[in-house]
Amino acid sequence: MASLPAQQPADTAVPVAGARPRSRSPFALLMRRLFRRPLVVVAFILLLAILAVAVLAPWIAPFNPMKMDILGRLKPPSAAHWFGTDEFGRDVLSRIMLGAQLSLLVGLLVVIVATVLGTLMGLAAGYVRRLDGPLMRVTDALMAFPDILLAIAFMAALGPSLYNVVLALGIVYTPRVARVVRAAALVVREMPYVEAATALGATSPRIVFLHILPNLVSPILVQATFIFAYAILTEAALSFLGVGVPPTTPTWGNMIAGAQQYFQQADWLILFPGFAIVLTVLSLQIVGDGLRDALDPRLQKVT
């Protein structure tokens, strides 16, 4: 007890001495606000774990995911095969790990395609008045279809392959990004700092990409996270319906599709890939929600 008061001044003196106002970038502030919520931290760690599994799958998978074993087919979860084996005796855990790789890859590529296309489209619509009407009618038309239906239509036209799935879903989700970017760009365009940039002699492309676009990063980031989740879900649905990635590729959707006819005897075939999808999509949604909340004070100003 006696030592406490003696320590206290020393304790407080340290932060005071070092307490000069630190320069915080908007990004650092965002991270701090984002990780204030425990659920977001859990979801984020889970996502990182799933990502690590996906990247390291070839090395950490307990079995070769393609290796068949006729004698060990449809075995329930055991010490050797944690998630059981499928109709060809392949290890379900290993296949889920490899599936993570493919599903995340599809999700990521879709995010990239949709974000790049959507951002360009949204910026064009938001900055060039003449393009606004036509471009937004195109997005209206695309958004009038349910995601799955539009994706199936594109897949029917393009033919089944992993990259066609990416392309189809990329196009399906482009309008979502375009809408958000346009709405935010319309607001930012009128901000005095954009006029100030013009008054400094900046060219239009410079204004759009250096002065407007960086202010749209928050809404784009939030959309990208949600699209990541939707893309994984829709890819699984497409594969389940048999119009997605060719069935020989072990994506989560394909695994569930293949498990349909054995569901009565081997429910783990559907359960474990299903859990993988739920866990991934849920984590992404929680992180997306957290991002949206963390960005809220600025979102309110921007949208």
Does residue number 300 form part of the binding site for other proteins (CB under 8 A)? Answer: no
Q: Which of 195, 242, 278, 296 binds other proteins (CB under 8 A)?
A: 195
121 vs 236: CA distance, rounded Å: 27
Tokens read off for 21: 């106002």
Residue from 108, 148, 197, 279 touching other proteins (CB under 8 A): that is 197
Is 199 near other proteins (CB under 8 A)?
Answer: yes
For the CB of residue 219, give the shortest distance to other proteins in the complex, in Å: 13
Q: Is 217 in the site for other proteins (CB under 8 A)?
A: yes
Which two tokens mark 183? 């709405």
Nearest by Cα to 273 from 49, 62, 96: 96
Nearer of residues 137 and 301 to other proteins, judged by Cβ = 301
* Total chain residues near other proteins (CB under 8 A): 23
> Does position 192 bind other proteins by CB under 8 A?
yes
| Cβ–Cβ < 8 Å for 283, 43 | yes
Residue placing its CB nearer to other proteins in the complex, 5 or 21:
21
Gap between the Cα atoms of 85 and 91, Å rounded: 5
Label residue 202 exposed, middle or buried (CB < 10 Å: 0-12, 13-18, 19+): middle
Q: Between helices 92-127 and 252-259, what is the axis angle to 10°?
A: 130
Please give the residues from 269 up to 298 whose contact with other proteins meets the rule CB under 8 A. Answer: 298
Find the part of the chain contacting other proteins (CB under 8 A) among 4-12, 16-24, 91-99, 156-164: 16-24
214 near other proteins, rule: CB under 8 A:
yes
> Which of the 8 DSSP states describes residue 201?
T
The reply on whether position 193 binds other proteins by CB under 8 A is yes
Please tell me whether residue 223 adopts helix, strand or coil conformation: helix
* Radius of gyration of the CA atoms of the chain, in A: 24
* Interaction residues for other proteins, span 17-46 (CB under 8 A): 20-21, 23-26
| 1 vs 199 by CB, closer to other proteins | 199
CB 249 within 8 A of CB 99: no
Provide the binding-site residues for other proteins, judged by CB under 8 A: 20-21, 23-26, 191-193, 195-203, 211, 214-215, 217, 298
